[in-house]
Amino acid sequence: MSASDSGSTSHKLWEVFTQPPGGGPHEHAGSVHAADAEMALQNARDVYARRNEAVSLWVVPSDQITASTPEDMGPFFEPGNDKAYRHPQFYKVPQGVRVF
Amino acid sequence: MLGHRLSEWCGHGPILEEDIALTNIALDLVGQATLLLGRAGAVEGKGRDADALAYLRTDRGYRNAHMVELPKGDFGFTIVRQFLFSVYSMHQLEALQSCADADLAGIAAKALKETRYHVRHSAEWVVRLGDGTDESHGRAQDALDELWRYTGELFTTDAVEQKLVPQKFAVESSTLQDPWMRDVSDVIARATLRMPGEVYQQRGGRSGIHTEHLGVMLAEMQVLPRTHPGAKW
Amino acid sequence: MTPAPASTDDPKRVAEFEARIARGETIEPKDWMPEKYRRQLIRMMSQHAHSEVVGMLPEGNWITRAPSLRRKMSLMAKVQDEAGHGLYIYCGTETLGVDRHDLVLQLLSGTAKYSSIFNYPTLTWADIGAVGWLVDGAAIVNQTMLAKASYGPYARAMVRICKEENFHKRQGYEIMATLAAGTPEQHAMAQDALNRWWWPSLMMFGPHDADSPNSGELSRWGIKRKSNDELRQRFVNLTVGQAKAINLTIPDPGMTFDEDTKNWIFSEIDWDEFWRVVKGDGPCNRERLAARRKAHDDGAWVRAAAEAYAEKQARASSAA
C-alpha cells in the first residue's frame, strides 16, 4: 500500500468527554480523529481543553458506544413520568416548618 | 525562534488536530520567550522590553542555538527537532527552578510544565514516524541525521555561563548532556531509529554567528517595527 | 452517503417532523428527518467548517510578521481557534452520517463551497484588524442565530464557537483602534483595510432574500431563523457606531439613518463581484485551494505512518 493510498483513509473517530474544574461529572465535548488512543487523548487535550475547560479527559472509540434509539424513547423514558413518588415534592411537610 | 518556526505550520499541518497541537506548542514557546526576554530587559536596566529585544536586535545580537533557527522542513524534521530541543529544554528548566534569580526560577517552574507536554507530544510522534511506514522511517532518520550536527552546541559552556554558574544564576550546559542523551536514546530505540554516529558539531549561535537562515527570518519577523520606527501596535 | 430523493419521504412523517420543529424541539442525530433536511444540513455545516479551515490562511499569512509578541500570540491563538471551530463543525456534520475525510476531499476538489470572504488577500497588518472586527463580527451575528438552529449538534457547536469568537472580534477591533490612533501612516493603513473589507463583509450574509434559493426551506425547518437581509442590517447597525468611535469612515458616502426603523440604509452591494468570487474568480480562490491541497498531500505520509503504527500496536497486543 502506498503512502497516498493510506493517507486517503481517515483516522478513526473518538468521542471526547471532559470533566470541568470543580468536580462536576465528565460531559461529552465533541469528537476527534486519531489513529490510536494516546494520540486521541493528546488531540482531545489540544482541541477541547485549550481554555482550562477540563481537569480530566476520557476518549472512547465512537463505534464502541451503544446508544438508545429514538424508538426507545417511549418505553425507556415515559414510565418515569407518573412516578411522582420519586420526587421530594410528592411529600407534604407540616406548615410552619420553613427549612427542611 | 522555535515558536516562530512552529507557527509557520498554522493552517498547513498534516491533520487539523495537529495544526492545533503545534500551535499550542508555539504559543507556549513564544510565551516563554516573552517572559524570559522581559526578565532579561529588566536585568539589563536600559529600558528595553521583551519586544525591543525580539524586534530590534539584528542577527548578530541574537544568541540562540543554530538548531532552532533552521527552516521548518517537513513534518518529520519539525517533530524530530521539537523532540531534541524539548528534552534539552526540560532538563535545563528543571535545573533552573533552583536558580538564584527568583523571577527566573518562577518562569522555569511554569515553563517546565508546558515543556514536559512538548516532550510527550513530540516523542510520541517520533515513535510513530520512526515505527510507521518505510517512508516515514526514512524521513525521520534523515531528520535525525541532519539535526545531529546541531545538538552539540546545546551543551557548550561559554564564558558568560562560566561566570554565572558559581553564583547559581545559570545552569552549566554540559551537565545536561547525559540526562538528555538517556531520554533521547530511549525514544530513538522505541522508534526503531538508529543513533547517528559522531559528526562534526556546528557552533556559533551563542556568540552571534548564525546560519544564513536567521537573517531572512528576522527580516520577515521585524518588518513592521522596522518600517514604522516608534509606532505602537 | 447516498441521499434519497426527497419525494420518498412519507408526507405524514414530514408533517410530524415539522410539528416538532414548530414546538421548538431540537432534532438529534438518530431522529428521523426528511432527506432534504439532512442534505441541507450537510451542505451548510460542511461549508461552514470549510470556511473556518480556509479562513486560517489569510490570517495565518501575518503570523510571522505580527508586530509584537503579544499580537503574535493572540493571532496564533485566533487562527488556532479557527482550526478548532472547523473541527467542532466537522464533528457535528459527521453525526449526519458523513465522514470528515469525504467532506475534505470535496473541498480540495473544488466541488464544495466555503465563504467567499477568504478569497480576498490580507495585504497589510491592518487587514488582520479588519478581518477580526468585520469578518468575525459578521460571523458572530450569523452564528448567534445558528446557535438556535433546530439541529442539536450544530446548535451546540455554535454555542461553543460564539463563546470563543468574542475574543476574535475584540482582538480585531483593538488592532484597528490602535492603528487608527497611531501615526498618520497607521491610520491610513486602517482606513484602507476598512475600505477593502467593508463590502466583502456585507456580502458574507449572502444574496438578497428574494435571490436566495434555499432560504424558505431553511427557515421553515428552523435551521436559519433570520433572513440574510435581516442579519446584514443588524451587522451594519452594530458596526457604524464602532467605526465612528475609532475615527474611521465606512466607505459608503450614501449611507443614511432611517429614524423610523432606526436602521442605517446602505448602498447596493456589487452583486456582480459577489457572484464572480463565488464562482471562483476572486483574487485568491486558486491560492487558497492550492494551499489546502498542499497541506493535505504533504500530510499523507504522516497520516499513513500513524495508521501503520496503530495497526502494528493492535496486532502486537492481540498476539500477546
CA–CA distance, C250 with A10 (Å, rounded to integer): 45
3-class state of residue C45 by DSSP: helix
pLDDT tens for each residue of C73-83 = 999 999 999 99
- In B, minimum Cα distance to C288 occurs at B11
- In C, minimum Cα distance to B137 occurs at C305
pLDDT tens for each residue of C198-246 = 999 999 999 998 888 777 888 889 999 999 999 999 999 999 999 999 9
- In B, minimum Cα distance to C296 occurs at B14
Query: Would A2 be classed as within a structural domain?
Result: no
What is the distance in angstroms between the CA of the first residue and the CA of the last residue of chain C?
Answer: 38
Q: Which of B10, B15, B27, B82 to mutate to test the interface with A (most CBs of A within 10 A)?
A: B15
Report the CATH number that the domain containing residue A41 is assigned in CATH.
3.10.20.520
Q: What is the DSSP letter of C151?
A: B
Query: Would A21 be classed as within a structural domain?
Result: yes
Contact flag B135-A3 (C-beta cutoff 8 Å): yes
Could you please report the per-residue DSSP string of C225-291? Answer: -S-HHHHHHHHHHHHHHHHHHTT---S-TT-EEETTTTEEE-PPP-HHHHHHIIIIISSSHHHHHHH
CA–CA distance, C220 with C225 (Å, rounded to integer): 8
CA angle B9, B15, B18 (to 5 degrees): 55
Between A84-93, B164-173, C4-13, the lowest mean confidence (pLDDT) is in C4-13
Burial class (CB in 10 A: 0-12, 13-18, 19+), C71: buried
CA–CA distance, C271 with C277 (Å, rounded to integer): 10
CA–CA distance, B168 with B171 (Å, rounded to integer): 7
Domains and CATH numbers, chain B: 2-227 (1.20.1260.10)
Contact flag B17-A46 (C-beta cutoff 8 Å): yes
Query: Would A42 be classed as within a structural domain?
Result: yes
Is the CA virtual torsion C27, C30, C32, C33 positive or negative? Answer: positive
Question: B136: which chain A residues are within 8 Å (Cβ-Cβ)?
Answer: 3
pLDDT tens for each residue of A35-59 = 999 999 999 999 999 888 899 999 9
If you average pLDDT over residues C281-298, what whole number do you get?
Answer: 95
CA angle C215, C219, C224 (to 5 degrees): 90
Does residue C6 register a pLDDT over 80? no
**Which residue, among B161, B154, B3, has the nearest Cα to B84 in the 3D structure?**
B154
Domain housing A22: 10-65
Does residue C86 register a pLDDT over 90? yes
CA–CA distance, C225 with B120 (Å, rounded to integer): 45
All residues at 6 or more sequence positions from C226 whose CB lies less than 8 Å from its CB, including other chains: C145, C234
Is the CA virtual torsion B212, B28, B221, C85 positive or negative? Answer: positive
Question: Percent of chain B at pLDDT above 70?
Answer: 100
CA–CA distance, C30 with B3 (Å, rounded to integer): 44
- In B, minimum Cα distance to A32 occurs at B17
Model confidence at A73, pLDDT cuts 50, 70, 90, reads confident
> Is some CB atom of chain A closer than 8 A to the CB atom of C245?
no
Contact flag B21-A43 (C-beta cutoff 8 Å): yes
Q: What is the DSSP letter of C120?
A: S
Q: Which of A1, A2, A6 to mutate to test the interface with C (most CBs of C within 10 A)?
A: A6
Contact flag A34-C99 (C-beta cutoff 8 Å): no
Contact flag C53-B16 (C-beta cutoff 8 Å): yes
Does residue A9 register a pLDDT over 70? no
**How many other C-beta atoms lie within 10 A of the C-beta of residue C58?**
24
* Closest CB from C105, C300, C307 relative to A35: C307
Does residue A74 register a pLDDT over 80? no
pLDDT tens for each residue of C150-164 = 999 999 999 999 988
Residue B161: the pLDDT is: 86
Contact flag B133-A35 (C-beta cutoff 8 Å): no
Contact flag A35-B135 (C-beta cutoff 8 Å): no
pTM, two decimals, is 0.91
Does residue B3 register a pLDDT over 70? yes
Residue C7: the pLDDT is: 55
* Domain locations in chain C as residue ranges: 6-283
Does residue A4 register a pLDDT over 70? no
Contact flag C307-A33 (C-beta cutoff 8 Å): no
Between B162 and C147, the higher pLDDT residue: C147
Residue C1: the pLDDT is: 46
> Is some CB atom of chain B closer than 8 A to the CB atom of A57?
no
Does residue A2 register a pLDDT over 70? no
CA–CA distance, A79 with A58 (Å, rounded to integer): 31
If you average pLDDT over residues A53-75, what whole number do you get?
Answer: 87
Does residue B214 register a pLDDT over 90? yes
If you average pLDDT over residues A7-14, what whole number do you get?
Answer: 74
Q: Which of A46, A48, A53 to mutate to test the interface with B (most CBs of B within 10 A)?
A: A46
What is the distance in angstroms between the CA of the first residue and the CA of the last residue of chain B?
Answer: 21
Write out the three cell numbers for B62.
Answer: 541574537
Write out the three cell numbers for A67.
Answer: 446508544
Residue C212: the pLDDT is: 83
If you average pLDDT over residues B152-160, what whole number do you get?
Answer: 90
If you average pLDDT over residues C110-125, what whole number do you get?
Answer: 95
CATH code, residues C6-283: 1.20.1260.10
**How many other C-beta atoms lie within 10 A of the C-beta of residue C42?**
18
Question: C309: which chain A residues are within 8 Å (Cβ-Cβ)?
Answer: 35-36
